[in-house]
Structure 1
């Protein structure tokens, strides 16, 4: 009975974290009906309701919250201890989960990892695209990648890139219809291709700076996306201005498909950093991945 409870509690934790039977079933690799059956059996054995289900959401009851707060840290500790056992293996092994933006994965993370992972076939890496400032502990990521100034103070941060210059770009066809902007105030008269943030669900305000003057330009436009490649595509198609890492659009600038404007207002953000909890127990696999990502000064 205790063994059944343990395996079923792991299922419960997955549903509680995802707040969705569908997403939890996909993550666990089981059918949604099987997962629902497991939760019902666990609730029947414990004699309490753990989850409140509606047609649109799943939330924990008071009993479910109590179980989650008790069980989650202990299961994570067991997982960490099991991962640490790989230290006794001749070959580093284990799954390393990383969250980052798509451009960061394409331009920094993957080029660095592909150079070393062939030497460690037992190391598995999962890369997840996310523009939100996710809680990597709660979402069970091993590390996240963000700009240096976005990393929480209680995390260990390791630089993996040089500073990142930003650029405001638009297509020549767009500028045939609209004058070149020269100040943040001018942007309010332009169609700007905006980014919706995953965490806050709000629209990202462009962080501009000229000398000591810093401005958060709350721009707007017809097109809103939640990732940079689509923003760049819309800019190429003449739908407005995009504020993106210069490196991501440099080939289009060189070819003349995009034109950079307001260069004196475009800052460089503090380079990309890997971050992870200070209390995390490092495995050999984690250390190999981290060392591969470190920025070579």
Structure 2
């Protein structure tokens, strides 16, 4: 075995956990062909095959399963030891991989990016801005910004701001031509501009609150989009009624470009959280980012 066995083992674990050379290569910052060569050379030095490869899948051999079982805790302990030593660094450094809902990015991340870089110039933030709800750890992310209602199990969640609420809005022209809905059920007689969660087949059903409970309305209309702000643009053009977070809509409402509707049925709910896996030792760069976000969280 050569001195780079640690890297070979980490490459093997990445492929085994991802079940894919391409996904593991992306996680490690390598090309799939380079990763394949590393694994092939590793198997040759061991004199045993660790992975079954086909054109569509990767599976562990019996030897591979046994090796993975033994080295996972060893690598975890090594990472913890290195992270512990890293606490002695005066200037945290490294990459922090972040997954962030779009509205959460605009509200809690974008305003602090420049100041964070000035405070920690050696930390690189790799941020994916996406409204898809996915497994944080499986995606290779260190930390996420999401709604409290969708935080995964075994995650630490820290609330960042105040409550939020969604409201229905339309342009003054639309209201003049079609009138106001008096109850959420009246929306069934209106042109509604719908939004689809990325990765979902069906559009989002609008949620309202009355008599102590939430209920959904499956609205309909001339347009379904996957970008919220494009839905709002269509509402500004008078195409129909839109439904979105009040904080985002408030400047347009205050300017008279949109009219709020059904506000008595729009109740607040807990807003955004920063979440991350429970871990015994946290990398200094990740700790610095989480602490910075919490210290600068928008409270309103």
Q: Extract unaligned runs of 5+ from structure 2.
A: none
Residues 120/194 of structure 1: CA separation in 2 closer, same or farther (3 Å cut)? same
Check whether the contact 1:99–1:127 (CA below 8 A) recurs between aligned residues: yes
What corresponds to 1:96 in structure 2? 96
The structural deviation recorded for 1:217 is 2.2
Deviations 1:223-246 (CA, angstroms, capped at 9, x unpaired): 434443333334334443332211
Q: Extract unaligned runs of 5+ from structure 1.
A: none
What corresponds to 2:224 in structure 1? 224
Deviations 1:126-175 (CA, angstroms, capped at 9, x unpaired): 22223233222232322222223332453322121111132222334544
Check whether the contact 1:197–1:203 (CA below 8 A) recurs between aligned residues: no
The structural deviation recorded for 1:121 is 0.9
Task: Say yes or no: does 1:47 pair with 2:49.
Answer: yes
Cα distance in 2 for residues equivalent to 1:244 and 1:9:
47
Residues 251/8 of structure 1: CA separation in 2 closer, same or farther (3 Å cut)? same
What corresponds to 1:122 in structure 2? 122
Check whether the contact 2:101–2:130 (CA below 8 A) recurs between aligned residues: yes
The structural deviation recorded for 1:263 is 1.2
The structural deviation recorded for 1:222 is 4.3
CA RMSD for the aligned pairs?
3.4
Check whether the contact 1:163–1:271 (CA below 8 A) recurs between aligned residues: yes
Check whether the contact 1:102–1:129 (CA below 8 A) recurs between aligned residues: yes
Task: Say yes or no: does 1:191 pair with 2:205.
Answer: no
Other structure's SS at 1:267 match:
coil
Cα distance in 2 for residues equivalent to 1:162 and 1:183:
27
Cα distance in 2 for residues equivalent to 1:19 and 1:234:
42
Cα distance in 2 for residues equivalent to 1:150 and 1:33:
36
The structural deviation recorded for 1:109 is 2.0
Deviations 1:196-226 (CA, angstroms, capped at 9, x unpaired): 244x655333221134142122334444344
The structural deviation recorded for 1:271 is 2.2
Cα distance in 1 for residues equivalent to 2:70 and 2:216:
42
Other structure's SS at 1:110 match:
helix
Q: Greater Rg, structure 1 or structure 2?
A: 2
Cα distance in 1 for residues equivalent to 2:194 and 2:205:
11
Cα distance in 2 for residues equivalent to 1:225 and 1:18:
32
Cα distance in 2 for residues equivalent to 1:90 and 1:183:
58
Check whether the contact 1:194–1:221 (CA below 8 A) recurs between aligned residues: no
Check whether the contact 1:205–1:217 (CA below 8 A) recurs between aligned residues: yes
Other structure's SS at 1:117 match:
helix
Check whether the contact 2:192–2:242 (CA below 8 A) recurs between aligned residues: no
The TM-score with structure 2 as length reference comes to: 0.78
Aligned residues: 293
Task: Say yes or no: does 1:132 pair with 2:127.
Answer: no
Other structure's SS at 2:232 match:
helix
Residues 89/170 of structure 1: CA separation in 2 closer, same or farther (3 Å cut)? same
Cα distance in 1 for residues equivalent to 2:183 and 2:66:
53
